[in-house]
Amino acid sequence: MSLSLLAALSGALCSTAQAQVEIQGPNFGDRKNQELSVEEQYELGLKYLKRGYYVKALEEFNQIRNYHRDDPYAVKAELAIADLYFSKSEWDQARLAYEDFLRLHPRHEDVDYVVFRLGLTSWKKAPKIAARDQAWTRSAVNTWTGFDSRFSDSEYVQEVQEYLAEAEDRLAHKEFQVGSFYFKRGAWSAVVGRMEGLLSLYPECTDAPEALRMLAIARFEQGDVALAQDVARKLREDHPESLAVRRLERSHAVLAEGGMAEQPVVPEL
């Protein structure tokens, strides 16, 4: 056999072997030819998971969970399976796995981590555009509400608070968009209902100044000047530097501080 043919065959064999490793993952010392302890099997699964060999990682974790149920590593394997689905962006599978873990191990030392990740599985599915269905955003908020009091020492408290603030701002903006729709059409009762609900649920949201402005105008247009002035006063006190204060005073001088009753102009949109 010629040297060139041998070289070609050698190259083909190497390519085949490399392709097999890429598909099946590394063997980490020929797993089939050695007996591993449960701990070693778990660590092997983590290696596969870290390197992105999800099928092999799942095989290891499932073997531990199914055949060593009384071993502490079986619990670790259950959580690792949830993390594996999360790493694959399979949010529904991950959510179910985290929920099962919480149901089976409600007092586990990593419950704070599990609740944090459980909320993330909903957050990852939620659309960023407020006008779309925000059911998954609400699901994340429901999961994380009370996290700081329940897990005050958790390393995830700050992250959860940041996510909650963003989620609540998104939900508030959805309500604000609906209220703005009614405002442009002069449907004052609907504006009052929407804006009062928004300000009650999300008083610190980004849209709060504009919501107060529209609420003040809606109350004024309904003929309740005293209530309108109360809302305008709250707007000035809570957001003195906001553009909403100046817009309100330009369109409805009667609602300005010390303003005199006069006929309002068309509301500024």
pLDDT at 256: 81
- Tell me the pTM: 0.78
Backbone angles phi and psi of 51, in degrees to 5: -90, 0
**In this structure, are 119 and 145 located in the same domain?**
yes
Residue 90 confidence (pLDDT): 98
Tokens matching residue 131: 């006008």
Q: Report pLDDT digits (tens) over 233-256.
A: 999 999 999 999 999 999 998 888
* Helices and strands per DSSP (H, E), number in the chain: 13, 0
Single-letter code of the amino acid located at 115: V
Which residues in the chain show pLDDT less than 50?
1-3, 5-9, 12-24, 33, 260-265
Residue type, 136: W
Number of domain units in the chain: 3
* Domain match, 68 and 145 both: no
Q: So what's the pLDDT on residue 254? A: 86
CA-CA distance, 29 to 23, in Å (whole number)? 17
Enter the tokens of residue 222.
Answer: 């309904």
The confidence score (pLDDT) of residue 200 equals 97
Query: What pLDDT, on a 0 to 100 scale, did the predictor assign at position 65?
Result: 94
Residue 92's domain spans which residues?
12-97
Same domain flag for 17 and 91: yes
Cα–Cα distance between 191 and 149 in angstroms, integer?
34
Domain assignment of residue 103, yes or no: no
pLDDT tens, position by position, 64-97 = 999 999 999 999 999 999 999 999 999 999 999 9
The tokens describing 92, both together, are 């529904």
The domain that contains 202 carries what CATH number?
A: 1.25.40.10
Provide CB contacts within 8 A for 250, sequence distance 6+. 268
Q: Does 199 share its domain with 266?
A: yes
Domain annotation covers residue 7:
no
Q: Are 192 and 215 in contact (CB under 8 A)?
A: yes
With respect to residue 104, please indicate whether it lies within any of the assigned structural domains.
no
Q: Indicate whether 75 and 148 sit together in one domain.
A: no
pLDDT of amino acid 91: 98
Residue 68: which CATH number?
1.25.40
User: Does residue 221 lie within any of the structural domains?
Assistant: yes
- Domain match, 217 and 157 both: no
Alpha helical stretches, state H, 185-224: 188-201, 208-221
In 10 A of CB 201, how many CB atoms?
12
Structure tokens given for 231: 């809302």
